[in-house]
Amino acid sequence: MNFTDKLAAATQRHDSLLCVGLDPDIARFPAQLQGKDSSIFEFCKAIIDATASVACAFKPQIAYFAALAAEDQLQGVCDYLKQRYPDIPIVLDAKRGDIGATAEQYAREAFERYRADAVTVNPYMGFDSIAPYLEWTDRGVIVLCRTSNPGGSDLQFLQVDGKPLYQHVAQLVSAQWNRNGQCGLVVGATFPQELAQVRAIVGDMPLLVPGIGAQGGDIEATVTAGRTAQGSGMMINSSRAILYAKPEGSEDFIAAASRVARETRDAINRYRFS
C-alpha cells in the first residue's frame, strides 16, 4: 500500500482528517515526566495512545528531537507507531531541501531510519533536489507550497507570469512531479482563499494543512476551502492545542489531549460534507 492509499484508508477507518503533530517541548511536559531520560519518547507515546483512534496521520517535527540530540527517541516513536498503529501514516516534518546527492541521504534518513510514510520537502532548489525522494514510490513527498507563517508571503506571493509563485509550485508538482501519484502539498489554514485556489489546481492531491489550533486558522473556512468532492484529501494538523491541552485543574495531560483531539476531529467533520 502506498502513502496515498494508506492515508485514504486511515481517513475512512477513523472518520478523520485530523493529523496530530508531535512537537515535544520538554519545558511544557507534565511534572511526572520532567527530568527523565526517556521523557520525550514517553510523552509522545502517551499522546499517540490518547489520540490514535481519531487521527488520520501523525506528524513528528524532527527539530524538536534533533535540538536535544534525541533522534534515538524519535526513532523509538516511529518504531512504536509502526508496531502499535501500522495503519496510521507517519509524516516526518523535516522540510528538507538540498542538492541531489545530499537529498539522497535525507531520503534514506526519512524512509530507512525513521521508516516514515511521507516527508515534507522544500522545492526552492528545483526538481533534482526532490527526485531522490520520488525514487521511493510507495512513500509520500509533501512539498511546501503556501505555508501558514506570515513571512511565507515574502516569496510565495511574488507575481510570476501574472500569478503568485505558490500557484506555480502547485501546478508544477501536480502536472510534472507527481509521476507516481505520491506527492502532496503543504498549504496553511491561515490562508483559506489560497487553499481553495490550490485545491482547484491540484484536484484530489493530498494537502497537509497546518495552522488551526494555536495558530488560529478557522476550521470551517479551512475544510470548506480544502476538501475534495468526497470530503477528504486533507491532513489538518494540530499540534500544541492537543499536546498541551491540560487546563488548570485535575484533568491529566493524557485525558486532555484525548478530549481536544476528539473535539477537533468532530469539529472538522461538521463541515466535510456540508
Q: Cite the active site residues.
A: 95
Tell me the DSSP string of 22-40. E---GGGS-GGGTT-TTHH
Give the residues across from 140 on adjacent strands.
Answer: 118
Q: In the 8-state DSSP scheme, what is residue 176?
A: I
Query: In the chain, what is the straight-line distance between the N-terminal and C-terminal CA atoms, in Å?
Result: 30
Cell numbers standing for residue 259:
478530549
Calculated CA dihedral for residues 144, 64, 129, 179, nearest 10 degrees: -60
Q: What is the largest CA-CA distance in the chain?
A: 57
**Could you tell me whether strands 234-238 and 207-209 are parallel, antiparallel, or unpaired per DSSP bridges?**
parallel
